Amino acid sequence: MNVKKYFIVLFGSFITISMVFYLVNLTDNHIWLASLASSTALLFTASNHSVAQPRALILGHLICALIGILLYDFFGDHWWVLSMSLSLGIFLMLLSRTFHPPAAANTVIMIHVHASFMILISTILLGTVSLVILTAIITRVMKSKTPYPTYWFAPSPKARDCGIKH
């Protein structure tokens, strides 16, 4: 059992998400931070997987948040809008090869909190970029065997590589 690896996950994820929460703490409604917390778990436990790399992390969150905001603005917060936003978010992440599973929650969260477009910059972009930078620093300072990121701009797998049969 590699105890050092577990301590890197424990302390690295605590420090990273604490700093991100501090940086993006601009509102009283913190539910949208759940997707960033989930991303943190992914970064520290599956950091070499393609869905955890910066391109997928940042663009996946932005795409899904934008979908949620747009669909709320056009259709309101009905149950079918929540379902449509999630499906559309997954579809667009797969299509753009920016698939990041925790980001899918942003579609529903943005509708639930009736988010504005300012959230894209003040929370989503700031939060995801901070996650990438802090995780990269912490995994190097703690001398992780798999420093993050493995690669910066590589796309997520194609849909056929995500368990979808054609």
Domains in the chain: boundaries: 3-146
- Calculate mean pLDDT across residues 31-48: 89
134-149: pLDDT as tens digits: 999 998 888 877 888 9
Residue with the larger pLDDT of the pair 112 and 157? 112
Q: How far apart are CA 87 and CA 74, in angstroms?
A: 16
Per-residue confidence at 55, pLDDT binned at 50, 70, 90?
Answer: very high
Q: How far apart are CA 117 and CA 115, in angstroms?
A: 7
87-113: pLDDT as tens digits: 999 999 999 999 999 999 999 999 998
Radius of gyration of the chain (CA): 16
Can you give the pLDDT at residue 26? 53
